[in-house]
Structure 1
Amino acid sequence: MAEVADGQEEHQQIATALDLEHIDVNLFRSKSLWLPVNARGVFGGQVISQALVSATNCVDPAYTLHSLHCYFLLSASPADPIIYRVERTRDGRSYVTRTVHATQRGRTIFVMTCSFQRPEPGQLTHQWPMPSGLSNPEQCENAEAHYEKLLLHESLDPRIRKYAEQYVAERKRSPMAIKTAGIKYASNGATLYMWWFKAKNIPKYPISFQKCILSYMSDSQFIGVVPRTLGSYYYLQGPKQLLMMTSLDHTIWFYDNNFDCGDWLLYVVESPRSGEGRGVVHGRMYTRDGTLVAVTSQEGVIRARGFEPKDPSAGEPKVKL
């Protein structure tokens, strides 16, 4: 679907991360899988984007992707290939629907339904504006800069040092460049976490593949905003110690067919609610010029050590009526 850009090592190429083997009609197999530092399974963004590449290959190019909805059912191992089976759910005049079942070792690990639309230019439009007062990506620090500074401290906790070293090395090998754009506090009380994203050293791909790349990016720095909002981290002791974080579902809506993931995109993420061992995040992706090209949502399992529940045998307090 896309050519490999010259001058990159294999593991740093976004095209390699998304590359699939076409083994039969509607049937595809992964060629490479990536396990992030401290992750329970293969990077979710890679599974989403590979499933989307499979679906896109089974759709008439006259239709463009406008939405995808998926569920992560089981963690994927990087040791075995993932098989993607595309079901041609519906072919309509204006919209086409495809469902992708991803299996590994005979078990379904992931399901995605995606919808493609015949473009309708000239319709009414509106969008939320990009947050104001941001620095250009060239003026922002790489996401790994914080951990590089931590590593300069000789007294750093060995557990944090190990993670920081792994994270810095991972970011340098990643096909994505990420820069920290800052934190803003909205008037409604929401905390907005922001990053600049781009794919490293890629040619100008067609929009169908650009959407696959954006889908890959969209799962990074995403569900992690829930524990950030809660002030919950793995290295803490006490009730705020983070014990588990994993994605349950993921949704993307696309509203533009003219963007380039080889240039910087701003990812604005907020978490409106968490509780019951779960949390939800919403995201918006903007081009440099402020065009809102995609809206995202995700829910995940977020388990912290928490507080000891009250003893139900103690009974309810008596209230005098």
Structure 2
Amino acid sequence: MSDSEEVSSLNQAEHEQISTSLEVEQIEVNLFRSKSLWLPMRARGVFGGQVISQALVSATNCVNPALALHSLHCYFLTSGSPSTPIIYSVERLREGKSYATRSVKAVQNGNIIFIMLCSFQKPEPWQPKHQWTMPVVPRPEECQDEESSYLRVIQDPKSHPKLVEFFQERLTERVRSPIYVKLAKSHHIDKEGVVRYMYWMKVRDTPKYEPPFQKCILGYISDMHFIASASRIMKLKRGGTGPDGLSMLSTIDHAIWYYSNDFDAADWLLYEMDCPSAGSGRAIVHGRIFARDGTLVAVTSQEGVIRANIRGPAEPKPSPKL
């Protein structure tokens, strides 16, 4: 079987539906409960994008449908466990004619693990528009999917057995994901010396959902490869040693600003990412998500803990008491 045939076979394997990943059960007027939770490979807790999207579904269910989600700001306070449902508690903070604001607290085992503020606006399509131009990248049909790149490493006789084992796990996880990913440009350096990563992403086998749910799906997508792009830009490697080894990578906060109410996550979206700054064990990444026609759908930002395998200076011992 050729690589392309094997990838095609893998892509036909059963994967989780995005509607299942985002589904919450309403248990009271402003209370919702998760129905499925995903723990990514070697992660500290539940996938952050899933928590964001489920919180968005909960908040959207508590808003007048005439208002459209335009922004969210959230903090991850502690890792979520996949073994216990998350309860999403929505608070109705503001009910204006043009804007409404909701807060969402995600609770697990009595502890708040995540908080989010999100704002909804009555659309004003008659107002003037401006946006950055979409970067020039190969069309998604010309790009290799992640499954193919993992298979290439697995099938390479020169690959170390531990590397093969790692990518076999990644491949199994990737084919079960509801999101299809292709690398558009890797470690692209522009004229100003800014390093960027660019991915084509879309939902697998999904019907055309209504705009409010499309934005919840985008919340899920927005966390994929995001803070990890900072470690790649800094050339930190998992399993490495010393200053080149990555010892910890975890999201602190995340924000999205939506500038389109008419996009389809089942069609390819280009996610462009860069890292303006990193230091003191933290890094910030910025992103722009474009539809295939060049429309800037959303702008994203995220800060996370990012630590190398190096220790800081030892703390001075306290002076003995006289």
Map 1:72-91 onto structure 2 (within 5 A).
72-91=76-95
Where do residues 5-44 of structure 1 align in structure 2 (5 Å cutoff)? 12-44=16-48
Amino acid aligned to 1:56: T
Give the C-alpha shift of residue 146 in structure 1. Answer: 2.2
**2:13–2:175 CA contact under 8 A, matched in 1:** no
| 2:161 maps to amino acid | P
Contact kept? 1:19, 1:50, Cα under 8 Å: yes
Amino acid at match of 2:282: R
Please give the alpha-carbon distance, in whole angstroms, between the structure 2 residues aligned to 1:309 and 1:180: 39
Q: How does 1:121-136 map to 2 (within 5 A)?
A: 121-132=125-136, 134-136=137-139
2:209 aligns to what SS in structure 1? coil
When structure 1 is superposed on structure 2, of 92-101 and 162-171 the one drifting more is 162-171
Equivalent residue pairs, number? 305
CA change 1:310–1:79 in 2 (3 A) is: closer
Alignment counterpart, residue 212 of structure 1, candidates 210, 216, 222? 216
Q: CA deviation at 1:237?
A: 2.5
* 2-structure distance, mates of 1:222, 1:41: 16
Letter in 2 for 1:142: D
Matched-pair contact (CA < 8 Å) for 1:254–1:293 = yes
Paired with 2:102 and 2:242, the residues of 1 have a C-alpha distance of: 46
Instruction: Judge conservation of contact 1:99–1:113 (CA < 8 Å) in 2.
Output: yes
**Residue 168 of structure 1 is aligned with which of 168, 171, 179?**
171
Residue 212 (structure 1) shift: 0.3
Indicate which of 177, 180, 186 corresponds to 1:177: 180
Deviation at 1:16, TM superposition (A): 0.4
Q: CA deviation at 1:89?
A: 0.7
Q: 1:311 to 1:96 in 2, by over 3 A?
A: closer
Residues 247 and 311 of structure 1, relative CA distance in 2, 3 Å threshold = closer
C-alpha distance after superposition, 1:166-220 (max 9, x if no partner): 1111111110000010132122211110000000111111100000001100000
Residue in 1 aligned with 2:271? 267
Q: CA deviation at 1:303?
A: 0.6
Q: Deviations over 1:130-153 (max 9, x none)?
A: 112x11101110023222111113
CA offset at residue 309 of structure 1?
4.6
1:280 partnered with 2:289:
no
Whether the 8 Å contact between 2:48 and 2:223 is mirrored in structure 1 is: yes
Q: Which runs of 4 or more aligned residues in structure 1 lie more than 6 Å from their structure 2 counterparts after TM superposition?
A: none
| Kept after mapping to 1: 8 A contact 2:15/2:175 | no
- Residues 10 and 97 of structure 1: CA distance in aligned 2, closer, same or farther (over 3 Å): farther
Higher mean displacement: 281-290 or 177-186: 177-186
Q: Are 2:132 and 1:157 aligned?
A: no
Q: Gaps spanning 5+ residues in structure 1: where?
A: 1-7, 313-321
Cα distance between partner residues in 2 of 1:270 and 1:238: 24
3-state DSSP of counterpart to 1:80: coil
State the distance in 2 between where 1:237 and 1:58 align: 48
Deviation, 1:11, is 5.0
Give 1:91-130 correspondences, 5 Å limit: 91-130=95-134
Whether the aligned pair in 2 keeps the contact of 1:239 and 1:307 (CA below 8 Å) is: no
Tell me how far apart the structure 2 counterparts of residues 104 and 244 of structure 1 sit (CA, whole Å). Answer: 23
Aligned twin of 2:5 = none
Amino acid of the structure 1 residue aligned with 2:256: I
CA displacement at 1:155 relative to structure 2: 4.2
Identity %: 55
